[in-house]
Each structure stands twice: as structure tokens, then as C-alpha cells.
Structure 1
């Protein structure tokens, strides 16, 4: 009778593929955001009435650069925490799927708000984004707590963005 082989728990993908899968969607989201806002910051957006707590324009790219870095690291960690077998594998897949949905909503908000000038629809998208980021944190917690913690500032910023979007909608 042959000896049973043991497959060690660990990442299911090589380090370079894992890095690409973590960085590329986040970088694409950042590029979409940048392209969607550049023409609008000094035009349409500048003409909107904004609440007293609206930060100066320079704060947004600084904050998003830091947050996107943290998001990519969190995804890289989550992808490395993948269980190969067992009942938690489905939960890991759900965490990765939630991560993908929140990144897609993140990528969608900027063109909706800035390019389409759809402040109301932007509020719906950013509120859905907040729900998905919180759910992603909850699901990720089971597999990599550091990854979940890396997403907390992102959730806080998206919560602020939701309030800001709502205030801009109300004022305009």
C-alpha cells in the first residue's frame, strides 16, 4: 500500500502570478479614477457647491495612492491565504469574489460621478461600495487578519466619501 501524500496548505499560485493578480486590478481602478477625474476637477466639479468638510483637491490623490497600496497588499495577502482543500475553501472564494466586486464598484464610481456627472447614481454606487468593503473585511478576517486590517482605512475613507457624495447631492 503506497504511503499517503500530503499536500501542504499554502498559496495555490506562484508568487509572480499572485502579485499580478493583486496589483493589476487595483492599478486599473486607479487609472480609471485618474482618467475620469482629471478633466472634471477644474471644470464641472469646481462649479459644484460643496460642504464645509470637503477636503482640498490635493488630498484625494494622496489618500487614494496610500489606500490603493494598502488594498493591493491586502489582496496579495488574501490570495496567499488560500486554502487548497477543506470546508473553508468556499469561504475563501467568497472573500475573493467580494474583493472583486468592491474593486469593480470602486472603478465604477469615478466615471459615474465625475464623467457622467451623475451625483445621485454616484451616491448609490458609493453606498454599495461601502457595504461591499465592509463585507470583504468580514470575509477576509477568517483567512488573513492583517489583510482585513489593511482594509479598515479604506472603509473609513469610503464612508467619508459616501457622506461627502450625499452632501454634494443635497447642495446641488
Structure 2
């Protein structure tokens, strides 16, 4: 059985829906004004990395979904894409740094679960999710650093940007 491009397209559509929150809730002036760690990636890195990651995330799902026993892997996949979609509106839209941290911790757990359960069925699919887990680890570290460096913003009510 070959690669199912229609299945890939459906999963890529779910990834595109998650990615849409990035354009709906851009970082804006609020985020630009926050103190960030010296290792904060430049802004151009984010869309490049996320574009590649979404292709890998969709590809991993397309490889695993048709396999016998894929229910748990697909449940973790659904959980991670839901949390992926949720983080941007919470962090950038609502300007809730601490709530963003909670979401991203659960996102890390969901991605780890998706990677492990996919790996058990198809090691290539599991490996395709490893860069995503690495990026979410970096993103969680960045979220935590922004929280630590901006305690006043972490407890403040959001402002118009």
C-alpha cells in the first residue's frame, strides 16, 4: 500500500487550520515590548520552521492513520493539533503568558504521546514527529523565559495592541 495523498491532504488541512491562528493573532506590539532571552529566535524563523513541521506532522498522521491499532496514536494526534491551535490565541490574543505555559506543557505531553505511539506502529512516522517535539521544547522554554523575565506582564490584564 502506497502513501495516501488524500489522507495527507486532510491532515495538512487540520494543520493549516492550526496555522491560521498565527495570522489571526500575530505577536504585535505587546509581544515586541516584552523582555525575551538572548537565544530568542529571529521572527523569520517561526513561519519557516512551522511550515516544515506542519508537513511532517501531516505526513506522520497520514502514515499512521490507516494502520491497524492506530487509535491511540490518532487520539494523541488530535489532542496535539487542538492544543497547537489553542496556544496562539491564549498567548498572543489574550496575552496570557501563564495560561500559555499550561497549554504548552500539555502540548508537549500530547506531542510526546503522538511520537511514541506513532513510533510503535511506524518508526518513520514517529521520527517525523521528533523535530516537532524538539521545537515544542524550545517554544515551552521560550514561554517560560518570557514569563520569568516579565512577571508584571504575566499577571497584568491584557491591553489593546
Question: What's the TM-score once normalised by structure 1's chain length?
Answer: 0.82
Written as runs of structure 1 = structure 2, the 5 A alignment for 1:25-36 is 25-36=14-25
| Structure 1 stretch displaced more, 27-36 or 109-118 | 27-36
Distance of 2:59 and 2:30 partners within structure 1? 34
**Higher gyration radius (CA):** 1
Q: Tell me the SS of whatever aligns to 1:142.
A: helix
Distance 1:168 1:67, change over 3 A: same
Distance of 1:70 and 1:17 partners within structure 2? 15
Distance of 2:10 and 2:76 partners within structure 1? 15
Matched, 1:96 2:74: yes
Q: Determine the structure 2 residue equivalent to 1:52.
A: 38
Question: What's the TM-score once normalised by structure 2's chain length?
Answer: 0.87
Q: Determine the structure 1 residue equivalent to 2:87.
A: 109
Written as runs of structure 1 = structure 2, the 5 A alignment for 1:14-163 is 15=4, 17-37=6-26, 40-41=27-28, 43-80=29-66, 82-83=67-68, 89=69, 92-163=70-141
What's the offset of the Cα at 1:16?
5.8
What's the offset of the Cα at 1:26?
0.8
What's the offset of the Cα at 1:46?
0.5
Distance of 1:55 and 1:21 partners within structure 2? 30
| Structure 1 stretch displaced more, 15-24 or 93-102 | 15-24
Q: Tell me the SS of whatever aligns to 1:51.
A: coil
Distance of 1:112 and 1:26 partners within structure 2? 18
How many equivalent residue pairs?
A: 150
Distance of 1:17 and 1:156 partners within structure 2? 28
| Structure 1 stretch displaced more, 157-166 or 139-148 | 139-148
CA RMSD, aligned part only? Answer: 1.7
Distance of 1:17 and 1:45 partners within structure 2? 38
Query: Which structure 1 residue ranges, 5 or more long, are not aligned?
Result: 1-9, 84-88
